[in-house]
Amino acid sequence: MAIKEGLRPGGRSARVQESIHSAVRELLETHQRSTLTVPQIAARAGVTPSTIYRRWGDLSVLLADVALARMQPDGEPANTGSLRGDVRAWAEQYLDEMSSEPGRNMLRDVQCSQTPGYCVAIIGAQLQAILERYPDQPGPSVDRLINLLAAPTVFRILFSAAALEVEELHRLVDIALGQ
Amino acid sequence: MAIKEGLRPGGRSARVQESIHSAVRELLETHQRSTLTVPQIAARAGVTPSTIYRRWGDLSVLLADVALARMQPDGEPANTGSLRGDVRAWAEQYLDEMSSEPGRNMLRDVQCSQTPGYCVAIIGAQLQAILERYPDQPGPSVDRLINLLAAPTVFRILFSAAALEVEELHRLVDIALGQ
């Protein structure tokens, strides 16, 4: 499942998009997010500001697009040999990533996207891949895993004074797996 | 539990804050949120823009403060005579309110607050009030109710293509109550 937002098939357009995404990622390493400007990104990417405005409308949509692309996992979820182990490993990594500073920023940026639903589609695909490894085991639905693991992880990061504790997350994994 | 952010004890300061909050609420009824400006709010509240800048820094913090104040419930959660009934009624109302357009805007605004943790504190106090009605019943913890009911409700609104269905919410209530 690829993120299609803003992507056009073919060479030139995809290369322009990639250079703009790269410019944003590089600038975010050395600049406060709130200080980024479209002309600055355009200069770094070697395009005109109007190229960015034409494609993304404004900066928040571009940042959301970069955030969504970053949410794509680097590879398959860890395979520990058991459903419970795989779900636990996935949930721990998701908690780690989302509660980091870049993770929090991603979560905020993605909400400005025109397609925030991609966020759930991406983690749904990962959880589906885990469930398919254990076809003979009565497993939970993907929606149940999203509601009981991803939702509390993100909600607590965005709206609570303290993120989930790992022990709390493990209890949620047990509840999600009906144990 | 009162929202203290921006509140100063005593008359004048509290009255000024209330007139600014009222101005924001009134303007939001007739104006797009994205078109609101600090000078416009100041004019309506009868204060100078610098009063607003001094107290809130910028518009997003003021909007967050108003959103937090609006999250305060109007009264006690409904009392249906049973723990399950009360939790269900609370969860249904929370889903209704948060998935409305003003609810979504509140959720977005609150994240700009310097104290987004108030959000969880407010709903925690409501859930605690429900649990205290049934002291002889082995009930879940407030955290469990927040993780299993409030979190999926809000996460699905912000990040998924579709909000929770009421049937899904009822299943989550059963899981949260260990049934």
ipTM of predicted assembly, 2 dp: 0.77
**Residue A137 burial by Cβ neighbours in a 10 Å radius (0-12, 13-18, 19+):** exposed
CA distance B21 to chain A (A): 22
What is the structure's pLDDT at A179? 66
User: Does B76 contact chain A (CB < 8 Å)?
Assistant: no
What is the structure's pLDDT at B152? 97
Q: Please give the backbone phi and psi of residue A95, each rounded to the nearest 5 degrees, phi first.
A: -60, -45
CA distance B139 to chain A (A): 16
Lowest mean pLDDT among A10-19, A23-32, A119-128: A10-19
The band of A157, judged by pLDDT with boundaries at 50, 70 and 90, is very high
CB B146 within 8 A of CB B93: no
What is the structure's pLDDT at B11? 73
- Stretch A5-31: mean pLDDT: 80
CA distance A46 to A23: 9
Q: What average pLDDT is seen over chain A?
A: 87
Residue A6 lies in a domain: no
Q: Tell whether the model's pLDDT for residue B49 goes beyond 60.
A: yes
Q: Tell whether the model's pLDDT for residue A63 goes beyond 80.
A: yes
CA B100 to chain centre: 12
Q: Which two tokens stand for residue B162?
A: 């579709």
Q: Which two tokens stand for residue A69?
A: 């692309």
What is the structure's pLDDT at A10? 55
Whether residues A60 and A121 fall in one domain:
no
Residue B4 lies in a domain: no
Q: What is the share, in percent, of chain B residues with pLDDT greater than 70?
A: 93
What is the structure's pLDDT at B103? 86
Residue A124 lies in a domain: yes
Whether residues B28 and B116 fall in one domain:
no
Q: Which pairs with CB-CB distance under 8 Å and at least 24 residues apart come from B72-78?
A: B72/B3, B72/B122, B73/B122, B73/B126, B76/B129, B77/B126, B77/B127, B77/B129, B77/B130
Residue B170 lies in a domain: yes
Residue A5 lies in a domain: no
Q: Determine the longest span between alpha carbons in chain B, in angstroms.
A: 56
Secondary structure class of A139 (helix, strand, coil): coil
- Residue A156: list chain B partners with CB under 8 A: 120, 147, 151
Residue B3 lies in a domain: no
What is the structure's pLDDT at A133? 96
- Residue B158: list chain A partners with CB under 8 A: 111, 116
Whether residues B57 and B16 fall in one domain:
yes
Whether residues A118 and A85 fall in one domain:
yes
Residue B154 lies in a domain: yes
Pick the last residue of a domain from A22, A40, A67. A67
Q: What is the share, in percent, of chain A residues with pLDDT greater than 90?
A: 52
- Stretch A23-42: mean pLDDT: 90
Secondary structure class of B10 (helix, strand, coil): coil
Hey, how many other C-beta atoms are within 10 angstroms of the C-beta on A24?
23
Residue B118 lies in a domain: yes
What is the structure's pLDDT at A81? 95
Secondary structure class of A74 (helix, strand, coil): coil
Whether residues A88 and A158 fall in one domain:
yes
User: Does A160 contact chain B (CB < 8 Å)?
Assistant: yes
Q: Tell whether the model's pLDDT for residue A167 goes beyond 90.
A: yes
pLDDT in tens, B106-165: 888 888 777 767 778 889 999 999 999 999 988 899 999 999 999 999 999 999 888 899
CB A57 within 8 A of CB A51: no
What is the structure's pLDDT at A178? 87
Whether residues B63 and B80 fall in one domain:
no
Helix, strand, coil: what percent of chain B each, to 5? 70, 0, 30
Hey, how many other C-beta atoms are within 10 angstroms of the C-beta on B90?
23
Provide the CATH number for the domain around residue A20.
1.10.10.60
- Stretch A66-74: mean pLDDT: 78
Q: Tell whether the model's pLDDT for residue B6 goes beyond 80.
A: no
Q: Which pairs with CB-CB distance under 8 Å and at least 24 residues apart come from A52-56?
A: A52/A20, A55/A6, A55/A17, A55/A20, A56/A6
- Stretch B53-80: mean pLDDT: 84
Q: Tell whether the model's pLDDT for residue A13 goes beyond 60.
A: yes
**What is the span of the domain harbouring residue B33?**
11-70
Whether residues A90 and A165 fall in one domain:
yes
Counting the structural domains of chain B, the total is 2
Whether residues B54 and B90 fall in one domain:
no
